[in-house]
Amino acid sequence: MALTRSFLKGMNLTDEQVGAIIEAHTDTVDALKSQRDQYKADAEKLVTVQKELDKLKEAAENGGDYDKLKKEFEDYKADVQKKETIAAKKAALTELAKDAGLSEAGIAKAIKYADWDSIELEDDGKVKDSKTQIKSLKEEWAEYVQTSQTKGASTANPPAGSSGKTYKTKEEIFAIKDAGERQKAIAENHELFGF
């Protein structure tokens, strides 16, 4: 049965009494509705909190730190492997740069600015497609490529023998008084004697 104005008037109450009762009843109902809404919101949160609590309990029972530690270990292992790979690539690229004729400064710059992801190594630790790589290094670091030329002895002025004197004829050699010196001069100028 609902508390209505007509119900209260049926009890022979005055209009003032009915208004006061209805007002008090409305305040009580509004307060109860507010409490109900709060409890409902708390109950909905409780379901979420309970799920999180269950997950934490399960993780604790199964070694919750295991997954975190495993990930940290895998990350560390990948970092170490990456560093070892780059070290091997640096060594191989250094050798390749030497083969390309780069100076020490050129090798240092080639190593500093190398794109390590694009460099691949063969099973023996050398850079794949080394001829193309050498050509690329020579083109990219051309100002650091060293060129060396070997110059032979001048035929117009042949080098002197170990005695420091050059003999042009057999007579000059036979004119040497010391027998040891003469033998040495003959050996150094053997072409004059036909042997």
DSSP state of 145: B
Segment 151-167 shows an average pLDDT of 58
Determine which helix (DSSP H) or strand (DSSP E) holds 169, and give its type and residue range: none
**Together in a domain, 133 and 81:** yes
**What's the half-sphere exposure (Cβ side, CA atoms, 13 Å) at 1?**
4
Predicted pLDDT at 36: 92
Residue 153 belongs to a domain = no
Residue 154 belongs to a domain = no
Segment 57-70 shows an average pLDDT of 72
Q: Give the count of domains, the chain.
A: 3
Scanning the chain, the segments in alpha helix (DSSP H) are: 5-9, 15-61, 65-99, 104-112, 130-140, 170-174, 179-188
Predicted pLDDT at 112: 84
Predicted pLDDT at 86: 86
CB 92 within 8 A of CB 125: yes
Residue 161 belongs to a domain = no
**Together in a domain, 31 and 83:** no
Residue 124 belongs to a domain = yes
Report how far residue 121's alpha carbon sits from residue 128's, in angstroms, rounded to the nearest whole number: 5
The pLDDT tens digits for 16-45 are 998 999 899 999 899 999 999 998 888 888
Question: Which amino acid is residue 111, in one-letter code?
Answer: I
Report how far residue 73's alpha carbon sits from residue 76's, in angstroms, rounded to the nearest whole number: 5
Range of the domain at 194: 166-195
The pLDDT tens digits for 114-136 are 887 888 888 887 888 878 888 88
**Together in a domain, 30 and 82:** no
**Together in a domain, 53 and 90:** no
Taking each helix axis from N to C end, the angle separating 65-99 and 130-140, rounded to the nearest 10 degrees, works out to: 70
Instruction: Give pTM, 2 decimals.
Output: 0.42
Residue 149 belongs to a domain = no
